[in-house]
Amino acid sequence: MKTLLSAIDRLNMLVGEFSKWLIVVVAVIMTYDVVMRYAFNDPSIWVFDISYMLGGAFFALGMGYTLLKESHVRVDVFYSYLSKRNQAIVDVVLTALLFFPTFGLLIFYLVPFVYDSWITSEKSLISFWRPVMYPFKAVFLISVILLFLQGFSDFIRNIQFIFEGEKS
């Protein structure tokens, strides 16, 4: 089990480290468009679509990484006053009651959504460029799966901590 949890952590770490570079790509693309638009009066029709797709991918692919780093926003009015063991108990209960059902259902509904997009070669309807949407939608499915896996990893580690006093 320790190997599986470590593999999930490594995967989310790699994806998180990769996804941060998407913002650099977005910045370069946006700079290119600004220069083309204002210096050469030749705006690009594809920059808007690529920028929201890459920005969305950056955000989504970072979800599992952010959970791994325990950097998600948490309302801890009472949580911070609890012992580490009681914090782990709260995390286990809330993960079981809220996290797993919510993201399990999201995965359940995203799979046919993404599948239909691939089968129909779905294209965007909001721009004249009409880029394909299925890779973008697949990134969101992959991102939610990575977040779910990281939640599972944290869940198991918290259970171990509750019963054994240490996290693997």
**pLDDT tens, residue by residue, 4-48:** 999 999 999 999 999 999 999 999 999 999 999 999 999 999 999
Q: Determine the pLDDT at residue 166.
A: 74
pLDDT above 70: percentage of residues in the chain:
99
With 0.85 as the threshold, say if the pTM is over it: yes
> Higher model confidence: residue 34 or residue 76?
34
21, with CB counted inside 10 A (0-12, 13-18, 19+), is exposed
pLDDT above 90: percentage of residues in the chain:
89
Q: Determine the pLDDT at residue 126.
A: 87
Split into its structural domains, the chain has a count of: 1
- Between CA 70 and CA 96, with CA 56 as vertex, the angle to 5 degrees is 40
Question: How far is C-alpha 127 from the chain's CA centre?
Answer: 25
Q: Which domain holds residue 21?
A: 2-164
Q: Is the pLDDT confidence value at 101 over 70?
A: yes
